[in-house]
């Protein structure tokens, strides 16, 4: 009996069990690419789709009542929250929910400044940037400023966080083409890390996303670069450079 007693104690000493099976995964190239393409989606894709929607909204607001009633995209879907502040969804195509203060101006007016009170964009992105579910937003008081009437240039910005300049280049087979220059940063709230992103030396060319006859989205076609450099203090910690090639797979390089 005493031997059994001792054997029990020895056996119990070796017993343990694993409770959580999470694994540690140091930051790698794939994660850097995911993060960087997410920034591209938030500060390039969303501004393009927002501009597409706001231009459509602006046109709608200037229509006659009869023409408004015939506009299935916006008619009956707009709430006027207060003077010049409108809330609307664009779920049909882009899954954007937006509340904007137009300040009583058309978005095409010289020096027009629209203020975003709320913007969220979500859904599955079939573009060649991201192929997964996304959930983006822009901060309250993000400004949309008409900066060049002749060349149809708007600037979307929020303090020193980001600035996205969008230049309308016309249409190609019914799809709008934009030249986008984006710069900005993503600051960690927990450490001294800061990610600086930019579209590089040349603007990124983005072709509007539309549905085809089979109700399948033709993804935004991107052409150009999107670079992200992550600094820890003043030291470059990680980087990811994405190259978009319309029709070809997106290339990326990282330091990992």
Partner 1 sequence: MKRMLFAVLLMGMPFLLSAQERRMTREERFRERFPYRYEVRIGYGGTPMYDEENFLYSGCGCWDIYDNTPKLDNLYRVQDGPEYVTGVFSAEFSMHLRRWFTLGFNLGINGMWGQQYDPTAGIYTRKSGASFNIMPVARFNWFTTSVVRMYSSVGLGVYAGFYDDERECTAAAMCAPVGITIGRKFFFFGETVLSTASFGGNIGIGYRF
What are the C-alpha distances in Å from 61 to residues 17, 75, 111? 65, 10, 19
If one asks whether residue 243 binds partner 1 (CB under 8 A), the answer comes out as: no
Give the integer Cα–Cα distance in Å for 146 and 37.
27
If one asks whether residue 9 binds partner 1 (CB under 8 A), the answer comes out as: yes
Give the integer Cα–Cα distance in Å for 69 and 75.
6
What are the C-alpha distances in Å from 78 to residues 10, 59, 63, 72, 107? 73, 14, 14, 12, 17
If one asks whether residue 72 binds partner 1 (CB under 8 A), the answer comes out as: no
53, 100, 119, 230: which one binds partner 1 (CB under 8 A): 230
Nearest to partner 1 of 96, 112 (CB atom): 96
If one asks whether residue 23 binds partner 1 (CB under 8 A), the answer comes out as: yes
If one asks whether residue 10 binds partner 1 (CB under 8 A), the answer comes out as: no
134, 178, 226, 239: which one binds partner 1 (CB under 8 A): 134
If one asks whether residue 42 binds partner 1 (CB under 8 A), the answer comes out as: yes
| Closest distance of CB 60 from partner 1, Å | 29
Q: Which residues contact 129 (CB under 8 A, 6 or more apart)?
A: 37, 40, 41, 45, 220, 222, 244, 250
Strands 235-244 and 221-232: antiparallel
If one asks whether residue 195 binds partner 1 (CB under 8 A), the answer comes out as: yes
90, 128, 186, 208: which one binds partner 1 (CB under 8 A): 186
Contact of 252 with 33, CB cutoff 8 Å: yes
If one asks whether residue 249 binds partner 1 (CB under 8 A), the answer comes out as: no
If one asks whether residue 183 binds partner 1 (CB under 8 A), the answer comes out as: no
If one asks whether residue 8 binds partner 1 (CB under 8 A), the answer comes out as: yes
If one asks whether residue 187 binds partner 1 (CB under 8 A), the answer comes out as: yes
Q: Please name the residue that has the structure tokens 């330091």.
A: 255
Both tokens of 48, joined, read 């393009």
Nearest to partner 1 of 32, 144 (CB atom): 32
Both tokens of 34, joined, read 């995911």
Contact residues toward partner 1 (CB under 8 A) are 1-2, 4-5, 8-9, 12, 15-27, 31-32, 34-36, 38-39, 41-42, 122, 132-137, 186-191, 193-195, 230, 232
């Amino acid at each position: 009996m005493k031997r059994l007693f001792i054997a029990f104690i020895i056996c119990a000493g070796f017993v343990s069990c694993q409770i959580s099976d999470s694994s540690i995964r140091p930051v790698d190239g794939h994660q850097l690419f995911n993060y960087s393409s997410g920034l591209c989606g938030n500060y390039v894709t969303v501004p393009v789709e927002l501009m597409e929607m706001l231009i459509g909204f602006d046109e709608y607001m200037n229509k006659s009542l009869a023409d408004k009633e015939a506009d299935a995209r916006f008619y009956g879907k707009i709430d006027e929250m207060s003077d010049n502040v409108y809330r609307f969804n664009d779920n049909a195509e882009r899954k954007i929910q937006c509340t904007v203060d137009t300040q009583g101006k058309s978005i095409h007016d010289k020096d027009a400044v629209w203020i975003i009170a709320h913007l969220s964009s979500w859904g599955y992105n079939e573009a060649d940037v991201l192929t997964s579910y996304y959930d983006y937003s822009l901060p309250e008081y993000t400004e949309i400023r008409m900066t060049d009437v002749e060349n149809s240039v708007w600037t979307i910005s929020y303090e020193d966080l980001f600035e996205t300049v969008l230049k309308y280049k016309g249409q190609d087979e019914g799809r709008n083409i934009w030249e986008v220059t984006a710069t900005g940063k993503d600051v960690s709230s927990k450490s001294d890390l800061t990610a600086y992103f930019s579209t590089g030396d040349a603007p990124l060319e983005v072709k509007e996303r539309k549905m085809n006859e089979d109700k399948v989205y033709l993804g935004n076609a991107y052409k150009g670069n999107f670079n992200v450099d992550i600094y820890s203090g003043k030291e470059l910690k990680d980087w990811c450079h994405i190259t978009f090639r319309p029709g070809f797979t997106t290339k990326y390089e990282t330091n990992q």
